Amino acid sequence: MSRPRTEYYDDSQANFDSERDLTLQEICPIWSGKLRNGLNNKDRSILSGDSKYCLVGEAWGFTGKQAGYYIAPLIPIIGCWTCIKYGKRFGKISKNKDSNINNFEQLISEFLTHWNQKHKSITATLKSRANAETKL
């Protein structure tokens, strides 16, 4: 099993359209930091019960879009069933109060593979929007 790419990467200079796979830090910088530093009870609660603000939700820009904006028939059109399943798996692990980043490594690795194959362009779009907003 290879370790997930959770290391820090300065994404201010990153080319998100490149062939290089994105790291968890690039896709989900907030949750990457939380996992690295340890989860508190609030973090565990969010991971296990709030699809908009969980790790997968951050990857989607905290929009709820992966869940079809909570309208089930929209999921296959604008969201992703696979991402929803990953969110549920992250939630299940986070319910164990003794869990740490080691418990998430395999799932993070699988999620990163899925994200880089199917949704990498979402990260590029979100980062370009954020960069445009900071220039205003």
Global pTM value: 0.80
Q: Mind listing the pLDDT tens digit for each residue in 30-83? A: 999 999 999 999 999 999 999 899 999 999 999 888 877 777 777 778 889 999
Residue 61: predicted pLDDT: 94
SS (H, E, C) 10-66: CHHHCCCCCCCCCCHHHHCHHHHHHHHHCCCHHHHHHHHHCCCCCHHHHHCCCCCHH
Q: How confident is the model at residue 131 (pLDDT cuts 50, 70, 90)?
A: confident
**C-alpha to C-alpha distance for 46 and 124, rounded to whole angstroms:** 25
- Residue 3: pLDDT band (50, 70, 90) is very low
The per-residue pLDDT for 136 is 67
- Write out pLDDT tens, residues 86-95: 999 999 999 9
| CB of 6 closer than 8 Å to CB of 55 | no
The stretch 9-28 carries a mean pLDDT of: 71
Ranges of each domain in the chain:
25-135
Nearest to 68 by CA among 80, 55, 56: 80
